[in-house]
Structure 1
Amino acid sequence: METDSKISKKTSQTILKLQQNEITEHAIYMNLAKRVKKQGDREILQRIGREEGMHSKLWSKYTKRELKPQKLKVTIYSLLSIILGYTFVIKLMEKGEVVSQNSYALLTKEVPEAHKIYLDEQKHEEALINMLDEDRLQYVGSMVLGLNDALVELTGTLAGLSFALQNNKLVALSGLITGISATLSMASSEYLSARSEGNADAKKSALYTGVMYIVAVILLVLPYLIFPNSKYIHALVTMLIIVVLIILSFTYYISVAKDLPFKKRFLEMATISLSVAGLSFIVGILVKKFLGIDI
């Protein structure tokens, strides 16, 4: 690799990483912009993408190389944007920058303009990203409501029924009936609540609440459909693991997309759900014992 004779090999490698990252992010932003329907957000993404391309060209003066975007990375982030939304993907990219502020400080010793580029990029892109107005993030409250209620209510119900019934098919049947009824109840309650607050998109709020609730219902009931009838403890343990994984995934999504603390929210949700499950399991034991029910 030909580089400026004044630049060390380590600095050249750092600049090459920066150049590769910039040209790849240029491709990602432009790809995202093609799929975004909202005109304002599309223009913001195109603007950031053009700037990333300019940065890549600037670094190419030092590396003397022309790089191409990493196709696999572009594909992965494009798929994630379809599933989780473009705001999440963009903020995830920003959190995963290949060169840290400390690395930039070292780079500045040999490339004086590097620090200014870093500051301009950070301030400008952060301002642009904060201007994004993705629809799904406006309904995070509805999503949290649906997921929280489903996890707390259904975790407790399934845990209690696991010992009371000791039959996976019966537990699954009861869980599905309870879950579907609760989904309809929660969605309608969210709709009425949103309407009473003058929300013009009450139907969307209800939809997000209902979808999150029914997805949680399906995932939590699934172990009881997979394991044999007598393996109710196995199904219960698997269900609790799924609960933790759902909380982990959703909390991470919210923490990245909305710039909220991850650890505190995860521990809070996990503690509540698992505590309810534990108490409900004890209730199931007591009910079975004192009522003398044997199924």
Structure 2
Amino acid sequence: MAADTDARGKNLSPAVLAQIRAFQQNEVTEAEVYRRIAARTKDEGNRQTLLRISEEEAKHAAIWQRYTGEELRPQGGRVRRYALLALIFGFTFAVKLMEKGEAKAQISYEELAKEAPEALSIRDDEEAHEAALLDMLDEERLSYVGSMVLGMNDAMVEMTGTLAGLTLAMQNTRLIALSGLITGIAATLSMASSEYLSAKSEDREDAFKSATYTGIAYLITVALLILPYLLFDAEHYLWAMGTMIVIVLLILVVFNYYISVAQDLPFKKRFGLGQMAGISLGVAALSFVIGILVKQFLGVDI
């Protein structure tokens, strides 16, 4: 085998050999990523699918190794990064982001096949077989995207308005955070209950799960929006509000990017990113003005 490997490597041009080595490194690393994620996956069907993809990647790496003659190790940093993403955002997001982020070949597979005949078969295998395996993944949380969007969007509209109004009415970050937290928790329970009753009225068996995802999305959003009022000093309420608005925009961008990757959808068009931002910030601006008017006409000074 060693002699065969040396012969193949000597017949390759430096550019092709470098590209093959990059492919081998990528396959070795991805095989380990899939294996790590599979080890943490509870659902047996998803776990077996991830292990099958890992085996496919390892098989391709072994083919490329015949040309390079090198036994490469997985890139530890990249493996840990995608394992962490899988833990936080779910394995579907992590593996699809990894596949999207693969380094583009500097040499086309057709050109590569002139010196490495297996190149085209590996390409076809990855485009067909591995794509089919990825489509077999069935992550529960992606079935409740609508519930998460409902909770997140409602929380952003309601809490940005509430916190902006309280900012000018109270002018104290601690009082604003206290009022916002009480309002947010009550609103979370109300929103989750409404989602549960709505799902029950449709005779859905997953009413409780749907309500849970809605409530969790709502509560996380509330916590993130209130956080600036806990971090800034009591008199820096305007800085806290400005930071809160930045967080609103970041939540919109991150969540929409998550959905676009996990569900293979266009990032810019998913859920009307600009429209959602406009509604949330518009409500915040209106509530800010209302806070000024209420404080002025009621003569309340806290």
- Shorter-chain-normalised TM-score: which range? over 0.9
Are residues 123 and 142 of structure 1, via their aligned partners in 2, closer, same or farther at CA, if it must alter by over 3 Å?
same
Match of 1:104 in 2: 109
**Range with bigger deviation, 140-149 or 74-83:** 74-83
AA matched with 2:283: V
C-alpha contact 1:18 1:99 (8 A) present in aligned 2: no
**What is the identity, as a one-letter code, of the residue corresponding to 2:300?**
I
Moved more, 52-61 or 62-71: 62-71
Partner of 2:250: 245
Match of residue 241 from structure 2? 236
Counterparts in 2 of 1:85-104, with a 5 A limit? 85-100=90-105, 103-104=108-109
Superposed, 1:1-295 pairs within 5 Å as 4-100=9-105, 103-265=108-270, 266-295=273-302
Please give the alpha-carbon distance, in whole angstroms, between the structure 1 residues aligned to 2:274 and 2:266. Answer: 11
SS of residue paired to 2:169:
helix
Percentage identity across paired residues of the two chains: 58
Give the Cα separation in 1 of the matches to 2:205 and 2:114.
55
Q: Gaps (5+ residues) in structure 2?
A: none
CA deviation after TM superposition for structure 1 residue 105, in Å:
4.3
Shift of 1:210: 1.0
Instruction: Name the amino acid aligned to 1:111.
Output: A
Q: Write the letter of the residue equivalent to 2:66.
A: K
How many angstroms apart in 1 are the aligned matches of 2:132 and 2:155? 36
> C-alpha displacement at 1:134, in angstroms?
0.9
1:228 Cα deviation after fit? 1.9
Q: Given that residues 19 and 107 in structure 2 are in contact (C-alpha distance below 8 angstroms), is that contact kept between their aligned partners in structure 1? A: no
The AA in structure 2 aligned to 1:267 is: G
| Per-residue deviation, 1:155 | 0.6
Over 3 Å counting, the alpha-carbon distance change for 1:105 and 1:175 in structure 2 is farther
| SS of residue matched to 1:72 | helix
The alpha-carbon deviation at position 72 of structure 1 amounts to 2.4
Unaligned runs of 5+ in 1: none
Q: C-alpha distance in 2, partners of 1:160/1:106?
A: 63
Q: What residue identity is the alignment partner of 2:175?
A: L
8 Å Cα contact 1:14/1:99 also seen in 2: no
- Counterpart Cα distance in 1 of 2:114 and 2:275: 45
1:199-225 per-residue CA deviation (whole Å, 9 max, x = no partner) reads: 212111111111111111111111112
SS in 1 for 2:269: helix
Whole-angstrom distance in 1 between the partners of 2:48 and 2:21: 28
- Tell me how far 1:97 sits from its aligned partner: 1.0
Deviations 1:89-148 (A, max 9, x none): 110111011234964344234334313321221121111111111111111111111111
* Contact 2:168–2:292 (8 Å) recurs in 1: yes
* SS of match in other structure, 1:81: helix
Compare 67-76 and 122-131 and name the one that shifted more. 67-76
Q: What residue identity is the alignment partner of 2:287?
A: S
Shift in CA distance, 268/113, structure 1 to aligned 2, threshold 3 Å = farther
Cα RMSD, aligned residues only: 1.9
Aligned residues: 295
Cα distance in 2 between the residues matched to 1:119 and 1:142? 37
Residue 240 of structure 1 aligns to which amino acid in structure 2? I
**Cα pair distance change 1:100/1:150, threshold 3 Å:** farther
Equivalent residues of 2:16, 2:107 under 8 A apart? no
How far the C-alpha of 1:170 sits from its partner, in A, is 1.9
Q: Which amino acid aligns with 2:231?
A: I
Runs of 4+ in 1 over 6 A off after TM superposition: none
Distance 1:60 1:175, change over 3 A: same
